[in-house]
Structure 1
Amino acid sequence: MRGRGLLPIVPGAWGVVFVPITSAEPELWELELRGLDALLHKPTDDMVATLDGGDRGGQLRVDFSQASLQLAETAHRLDIAVIDDIAALRVVSDRWTTHAALADLGEATTFDGRRIQVPRAVLLPDLSPASVQTITHVSFPCILKPRVACGPDAAHELAIVPSEAAALAAGGGPVPLPCVAQQYVRHRGTVHKVYCGVVPDKDGSPACRIAVQPRMSSPPAESVEQGAVLRFHSLRDMPKGEVVQEGGLDEELCVIAARRLAQRLQLRLFGFDVVVEDGGAHFIVDVNFLPSLKGVHGAAEIVDGAVALAIREHEQRKRARDGP
């Protein structure tokens, strides 16, 4: 992130200065953290994964590394702000628990009569006939995603399934299991990457600031409705080329959604992906913690502001607890 102009070592607009944790020895972390106001970490990039049962059809299991957990525990013991808490990251690193947390988001997220929705989804322990039958509650075509949302490379192996027959013919599983079958939203090939930070508003109160970057997304449903399962890697195999500026994204609605997500998931720095259905309906199809901010206009203000607010609110809680 520092190579992208983020995490400055001199005070920026919010007065935040970032210093790296340089030691690989846990016993030295307390010395490095002492005197600091906050820890900005990304344990979702340092997860321990096992794949039981082979490369295809195996059960993917992950957890944060012991080092990541110990670093966060050290920060808590020193009573400094942590961005973001491990408990919140456990939720967002699991696609099914994230879906459960956001299942009724559409009912709560409205703006001027419009609302943002979350696709229907079911959890599949395997691709047995009984499990595949439950996908009918989602509808075909659908998109299969590993339950594990981040960390290992296998978490980004996805598949578009055009029909029940194609799912049954896929064998042990086109993606690591367990997986989530998510409603495929028909759209024009653009996913809107929404980057969010909970920052101080002009009056000092918390506010969500967003930056939006359109990207080409997975193939349109029409291209896979007839045929076999289409497997792809969401970080390597996405279409390349000029993004179709299809318009129709309601950024005011996205700001409201960001506020709801921050409250529901207890996150300060996060991102979510929005696709706009052909009829104009907005769907949140993915949520992640501290996504790559490469080329994102305004990224520095989002990161610095979120850290500044986290420090301020943490200090306020300490004063309320300990007295002046």
Structure 2
Amino acid sequence: MHPQPEVGVVRGVLLDESALLTGDGDDKNATQLRPGAEFLLRALSLSRIRMGISYDVGLPSHRVSLIKRMASLYSLDWFTLNDPVSEVKPDWDDIGGCIAYLVSDKKEVLPILSSSRWLVVVLNVGGESSFHTPKDIHILQLEELPSTICQFNKRSTGINAVTVGYIMKPSRVEDFAKRGAFPLYPTPNGLMFMPITSELPLSSQLKEVDIILHKATDEILSIEENKVTFTQNMQEILRYLEHHQDCCVLDPIINIYPLLDRLEIQQILLGLEDLQNEGSNKIRGPYFLKVDNFDNFDFQTGLAKAKLSFPCIVKPKVACGVSHAHKMAIAFKVEDFKGLNVPLPAVIQEYVDHSSTIYKIYVLGEKIFYAVKKSIPNADVLMKLSNGNDLKPLVFDSLKSLPAADDIQHSNNPTSDESIDLKRVSDASNWLRRRLHLTIFGFDVVIQEGSRDHVIVDVNYLPSFKEVPEDISIPSFWEAIRTKFDSRMSK
């Protein structure tokens, strides 16, 4: 790698077909995407960076057809090139930064680019390249390009730039990235987001990042007897963190452990009692009871002691990360517990009549947002739903849920909604943030009919907060990450 002149931040990426496709002749069978090409195209498309693909005049038609299919699939501009700088630049004059050009080492255009202000990245095909210009960068795998761009942008931006390495399942990445949450070029507060991939050595990738953003609950393989088994990738990251304790993580894995256990969360929520003011409605957790066996338990005594009455909702003690964590039931009488098909150990929880309305609370650092959604109906409606089964328990998967209206209201200024006590919710949010030592999390609140108690029925880590408009939520997301990093570095 050679020193780079100051050419500005990369805001556009031009991918030459020679770097993305194998083969160079008329053999259709030899033409296919190189290993890592799909990862690269997806990562770049989710980064909201300007993208294009280039090819030479006279390229065989089967290669041109494949290029155009890729261009359509990933929303790429495409160019036929003889002189890349003169032919691409007029169309991309508005990108506001420099262009990174990925090309194989077999291209004759490299000398032409030596005097340009482009960042030239050469994919070495089959070993060391024989082509060098004063400022090119060489990589061995396509998966290296996002990291290469982040490194270059960090040098161009200065010491205040922060590289965020993120690891989560593809659907989660897409959910965040399609709202512009993970750009490769710096955000207004200096963050750049680099995908961490299993196709490259994790240790070398982690050395390039300043803070790790994870959704560790996506990486759980099993939870047995309070022992959590993570995927190989997450295990490697945990080992790396053990030996690099100065590495900044949002948030330390150990801090999310309470959210994996519904019983532990229920016990933590008991501490909300400290926030109560005499003469006003409460914010609290639901009444609850742990059960290890449905067939050998004195439910009448246990329920009464726990202040529980029917109906009540039964949930697995394991809160997330495994397939059965969301298999639940609503019980209407003691007999419903016999042979109930809910994983054990389980937590029996108060069912709160809440007018079919649930408040999704999102905590992003010190900022709080919420969305209002339709929820499961009140007990009298549930009993009517169950009448056809002689009032048998309702068993369901909470990820699919019982029938509920899909319409969503969202608010960035919760004071406009009189049905929720925002002061109570804000106090609880700040209390939970301090108690759990988490930066970004969410919880669900229902308001009990009659008492107007605000009851927290679920707490989760790094929610998508997709109901909150992205022009407000994404800057707050970036601010929470930056504040966490700056706070860690100041200690």
Which of 156, 172, 176 aligns to 2:343? It is 176
1:212 aligns with 2:370: yes
Equivalenced residues, count: 296
1:292 CA drift (Å): 2.4
TM-score, normalisation: structure 1: 0.83
Could you list the per-position Cα deviations for residues 119-161 of structure 1 after superposition, in whole angstroms to 9, with x for gaps in the alignment? 1111111212415342332222111111111112211111111
* Local SS of the residue matching 1:275: strand
User: Which stretch shows the higher mean deviation, 154-163 or 109-118?
Assistant: 109-118
Task: Give % identity.
Answer: 32
> 2 CA distance for matches of 1:33 and 1:110?
47
Would the aligned equivalents of 2:292 and 2:346 in 1 still touch at CA under 8 Å?
Answer: yes
Note closer, same or farther for the CA distance 1:17–1:159 as it changes in structure 2 (3 Å cut): same
> 2 CA distance for matches of 1:263 and 1:301?
22
Would the aligned equivalents of 1:33 and 1:75 in 2 still touch at CA under 8 Å?
Answer: no
1:221 CA drift (Å): 1.2
* Local SS of the residue matching 1:180: strand
Note closer, same or farther for the CA distance 1:50–1:73 as it changes in structure 2 (3 Å cut): closer
1:69 aligns with 2:235: yes
Would the aligned equivalents of 1:272 and 1:286 in 2 still touch at CA under 8 Å?
Answer: yes
Identify the residue that residue 434 of structure 2 maps to in structure 1.
263
> 2 CA distance for matches of 1:179 and 1:7?
38
> 1 CA distance for matches of 2:192 and 2:240?
20
* Local SS of the residue matching 1:143: strand
1:307 aligns with 2:481: yes
Identify the residue that residue 380 of structure 2 maps to in structure 1.
222
User: Which stretch shows the higher mean deviation, 71-80 or 189-198?
Assistant: 71-80
Identify the residue that residue 135 of structure 1 maps to in structure 2.
303
> 1 CA distance for matches of 2:418 and 2:380?
21
User: Which stretch shows the higher mean deviation, 215-224 or 143-152?
Assistant: 215-224
Identify the residue that residue 84 of structure 1 maps to in structure 2.
251
1:302 CA drift (Å): 3.1
Identify the residue that residue 105 of structure 1 maps to in structure 2.
272
1:239 CA drift (Å): 2.7
| Residues 3-82 of structure 1: pairs in structure 2 closer than 5 A | 3-24=178-199, 28-49=201-222, 63-75=229-241, 77-78=243-244, 79-82=246-249
Larger RCO, structure (CA 8 Å, separation 6 or more): 1
Which of 317, 321, 330 aligns to 1:160? It is 330
Would the aligned equivalents of 1:109 and 1:260 in 2 still touch at CA under 8 Å?
Answer: no
> 2 CA distance for matches of 1:236 and 1:60?
26
Could you list the per-position Cα deviations for residues 99-122 of structure 1 after superposition, in whole angstroms to 9, with x for gaps in the alignment? 112212133255994431111111
* Local SS of the residue matching 2:380: helix
* Local SS of the residue matching 1:88: helix
1:4 CA drift (Å): 2.6
> 2 CA distance for matches of 1:40 and 1:230?
38
Identify the residue that residue 195 of structure 1 maps to in structure 2.
362
Would the aligned equivalents of 1:7 and 1:304 in 2 still touch at CA under 8 Å?
Answer: no
* Local SS of the residue matching 1:302: helix
> 1 CA distance for matches of 2:242 and 2:475?
25
Could you list the per-position Cα deviations for residues 16-70 of structure 1 after superposition, in whole angstroms to 9, with x for gaps in the alignment? 2211112345xx212111142210001101111279xxxxxxx998543343133
Would the aligned equivalents of 2:324 and 2:343 in 1 still touch at CA under 8 Å?
Answer: yes
1:93 CA drift (Å): 0.9
> 2 CA distance for matches of 1:244 and 1:220?
19
Identify the residue that residue 9 of structure 2 maps to in structure 1.
none
Structure 2: which amino acid aligns with 1:5?
G
> 1 CA distance for matches of 2:400 and 2:371?
18
Structure 1: which amino acid aligns with 2:371?
Q
* Local SS of the residue matching 2:456: strand
Would the aligned equivalents of 2:371 and 2:408 in 1 still touch at CA under 8 Å?
Answer: no
Would the aligned equivalents of 2:358 and 2:374 in 1 still touch at CA under 8 Å?
Answer: yes
> 2 CA distance for matches of 1:305 and 1:218?
34
* Local SS of the residue matching 1:4: coil
* Local SS of the residue matching 2:258: helix
Would the aligned equivalents of 1:111 and 1:253 in 2 still touch at CA under 8 Å?
Answer: no
> 1 CA distance for matches of 2:278 and 2:474?
28
* Local SS of the residue matching 2:194: coil
Alpha-carbon RMSD across the aligned residues, in angstroms, is: 2.5
> 1 CA distance for matches of 2:369 and 2:191?
20
> 2 CA distance for matches of 1:229 and 1:210?
36
1:284 aligns with 2:426: no
1:233 aligns with 2:405: no
User: Which stretch shows the higher mean deviation, 221-230 or 179-188?
Assistant: 221-230
> 2 CA distance for matches of 1:302 and 1:48?
31
TM-score, normalisation: structure 2: 0.56
User: Which segments of 5 or more consecutive residues in structure 1 lack a partner in the other structure?
Assistant: 52-58, 199-207, 318-324
Structure 2: which amino acid aligns with 1:212?
Y
Structure 2: which amino acid aligns with 1:308?
R
Note closer, same or farther for the CA distance 1:131–1:104 as it changes in structure 2 (3 Å cut): farther
Would the aligned equivalents of 2:359 and 2:444 in 1 still touch at CA under 8 Å?
Answer: yes
